Amino acid sequence: MIKIENIHKWYGDFHVLQGISEHINSGEVVVICGPSGSGKSTFIRCINRLEDIQQGKIIVEGKDINSPETDINQLRAEVGMVFQQFNLYPHITVLKNITLAPMKAKKIPKKEAEKIAYELLERVGIHEQAHKYPAELSGGQQQRVAIARGLAMRPKVMLFDEPTSALDPEMINEVLNVMKDLAREGITMIVVTHEMGFAREVADRIFFMDYGKILEGGTPEHFFKNPQHERTKLFLKEIL
């Protein structure tokens, strides 16, 4: 479903992604971890083309996302994203945060979009907050709204960039639980996180990134018991 073929990216002189190739299958849950600055965010932001690559190819559902013929807005509707800082729209209600893209980008009628939004809010466990403004919610609740917003476009893939790093410890689990439910429902997910408990429980594969490369990847069992690279061992020792 997602094919990444030898991608390279530079920020000026800085070679941030140095040749990454991976296939991610439909329904797979992939966790990406690695030290700060290794290029994890940059990598997943390339998958919905929030960042451009300079070499290589990214194919999502058979479409080369960097080709000029690809309708970028349509692609992004199929690839949802959740950010570390939630990035909800502060000037509109929770409900409108969720219905905006379906109504404007997909032209879904208001009634129907709201129905979908209520279902999603139910699913992430905060349907009673629909008419509040984002700032009136706790961090954990905001992040769950952000997940609902991403799901509202019925994406085929969801990208998560450190979705729990900005949260107070007591709120991390409410977000992780929602994500675990999604994983079990079979949504394709690519998650940058250092929550190794989450990785162990739901990841099909874990990638370890360092210096713009995926040094190794494998099943959680393999990854935690038998890391191949010294850098991976060192990293695991530090965070576990």
Partner 1 sequence: MNYEFNWMLVLTGEYRDWIIKGLIITLKISGLSIVLSMLLGTIITTLRMTRIKILEWITISYIEFFRNTPLLIQLFFWYFGSYVVLPEVINQWLYAHNYEFAVGVVSLTIYTSAFIAEEIRAGILSIPKEQMEASRATGLSFIQAMSYVVLPQAFRIVIPTLISQFLNLLKNSSLAMTIGVMELTYMARQIESYSFRGFEAFTVVTLLYIAISLIISLGINIYNKKFLRMIKY
Contacts with ligand ATP, residue ranges (CB under 6 A): 11, 14, 16, 34, 36-42
Q: Which stretch binds partner 1 (CB under 8 A): 4-12, 79-87, 180-188, 203-211?
A: 79-87
| Least distance from Mg ion to the Cβ atom of residue 125, Å | 26
| Least distance from ligand ATP to the Cβ atom of residue 33, Å | 9
Q: Which stretch binds Mg ion (CB under 5 A): 33-41, 91-99, 117-125, 224-232?
A: 33-41
Give dist(CA 52, CA 43) in Å, integer. 10
Footprint (CB under 8 A) of partner 1, residues 115-134 = 133
Based on CB atoms, which residue is closest to partner 1, 130 or 206?
A: 130
- Residue 41 binds to Mg ion (criterion: CB under 5 A): yes
Q: What are the residues whose beta carbons fall under 8 Å from the beta carbon of 175, sequence distance 6 or more?
A: 140, 143, 144, 147, 163, 164, 167
Based on CB atoms, which residue is closest to ligand ATP, 208 or 223?
A: 208
Tokens of 8: 């390279």
Q: Which stretch binds partner 1 (CB under 8 A): 60-68, 85-93, 109-117, 171-179?
A: 85-93
Question: Is there a contact between 31 and 207 (Cβ–Cβ < 8 Å)?
Answer: yes
Q: How far is CA 239 from CA 85, 139, 192, 200, 232, in A?
A: 22, 23, 14, 14, 11
Q: Which of Mg ion, ligand ATP, partner 1, none lies near 38, with the C-beta cut-off 5 to 8 A by kind?
A: ligand ATP
Q: Which of Mg ion, partner 1, ligand ATP, none lies near 182, with the C-beta cut-off 5 to 8 A by kind?
A: none
In a 10 Å sphere around its CB, with 0-12 CB exposed, 13-18 middle and 19+ buried, how is residue 131 labelled? exposed
Give dist(CA 194, CA 53) in Å, integer. 25
Please tell me the count of residues contacting partner 1 according to CB under 8 A.
28
Q: What are the residues whose beta carbons fall under 8 Å from the beta carbon of 73, sequence distance 6 or more?
A: 105
Footprint (CB under 8 A) of partner 1, residues 177-236 = none
- Residue 43 binds to partner 1 (criterion: CB under 8 A): no
Q: By three-state DSSP, how is residue 164 classified?
A: coil
Question: Is there a contact between 2 and 159 (Cβ–Cβ < 8 Å)?
Answer: no
Q: Which residues bind partner 1 (CB under 8 A)?
A: 48, 50, 73-74, 76-77, 79-81, 83, 85, 87-91, 100-101, 104-106, 133, 135-136, 149-150, 152-153
